[in-house]
Amino acid sequence: MDFDYTSKTMSRVKRASLETEYDIKLPPPPKFETTMTPQSVRHSLESNMSGHSFEKKGKKKKKINDPELDKFKRGKAMEVEDLSKVIDEQLFGSSSDPKEDPSLRLDLLDYPKDKELSARDLIEAFYSKHDESKLERDTGIEKFVMWVEQHSLQELSEKLKGKYNEGLFDQEQLARRRRNLEDLLTQFYLKHDRPKLDTRWTILKILSWTMVNGVIALNKKFITRYGFPVVEIELDI
């Protein structure tokens, strides 16, 4: 039987089989000759690797359906999110309480500051921020005013803080601005349009609108209709 026992491609199994069958000892196959250097091997490997992603092969982990574990993971994720919010608020200020736009010129309504605010002023300011629907009903605010007369403003503030995380006195600046603007509107309508004072709910809507859109926008509307602004702006030259 003819066979090429010097073949480079002959397997070890084939060689062992031939040696056993013919009771001979075959010489070792010739060694492979290569002209590749370590640098060329590395270059070849890098060329083959480019554009490929390598993942560690192994058995895929079986997903465990554990409601308690999922609940624990969600809780941890929420803790991290809450901590991130706290850090952001400390560094950049609260995102839920954005900085006031100076172009609204609401600062013009901060004066005078010596007016005493009533319970109604504080309650209306509070609900203008948290639940404006209370200002649309005739009895919406009255029941709170009467409750304060029987108890105290501080007690009501604490009750509201338990529900809204803010009390009446947290809205003192807003209440002052609304009160000062209401006084200006009252003076304006007494002079230019008395029937507007027949109902206070019209005034309340203007107050809330102005806190969102600003004094300049309010003046433009009144100048267009009456020819005069509500809030006089003094030039500091």
Span 67-71, average pLDDT: 66
pTM, to two decimals: 0.57
Q: What is the pLDDT of residue 210?
A: 96
Q: Are 129 and 171 in contact (CB under 8 A)?
A: yes
> pLDDT for 157-207, tens place per residue?
999 999 999 999 999 999 999 999 999 999 999 999 999 998 888 899 999
Q: Are 7 and 26 in contact (CB under 8 A)?
A: no
How many angstroms separate the Cα of 233 from the Cα of each of 107, 143, 218, 225, 229? 11, 37, 12, 18, 9
Q: What is the pLDDT of residue 96?
A: 46
Q: What is the pLDDT of residue 45?
A: 45
What's the chain's Rg over C-alpha atoms? 41
Mean predicted lDDT score pLDDT of the chain: 76
Provide the phi-psi class of 192: left if phi over 0, else alpha when psi is between -120 and 50, else beta: alpha
Evaluate if residue 107 carries a pLDDT over 70. yes
Domains in the chain: boundaries:
103-226
How many other CB atoms sit within 10 Å of the CB of residue 68? 7
| Separation between Cα atoms, residue 182 and residue 134, nearest integer Å | 18
Is-cis flag, bond preceding 112, omega within 30? yes
Q: Are 109 and 231 in contact (CB under 8 A)?
A: yes
Evaluate if residue 11 carries a pLDDT over 70. no
**Phi, then psi, of 104 in degrees rounded to 5:** -70, -25
Evaluate if residue 83 carries a pLDDT over 60. no
Q: Are 124 and 102 in contact (CB under 8 A)?
A: no
Q: Are 26 and 18 in contact (CB under 8 A)?
A: yes
How many angstroms separate the Cα of 2 from the Cα of each of 5, 9, 19, 22, 186? 9, 16, 14, 12, 121
| Separation between Cα atoms, residue 164 and residue 227, nearest integer Å | 41
> pLDDT for 108-155, tens place per residue?
999 888 889 999 999 999 999 999 888 876 567 888 999 999 999 999
Q: Which residue from 181, 226, 230, 171 is spatially nearest to 207, judged by alpha carbons?
A: 181
Q: What is the pLDDT of residue 87?
A: 44
| Separation between Cα atoms, residue 42 and residue 220, nearest integer Å | 76
Dig out the tokens for 217 from the structure: 């926008």
Evaluate if residue 19 carries a pLDDT over 90. no
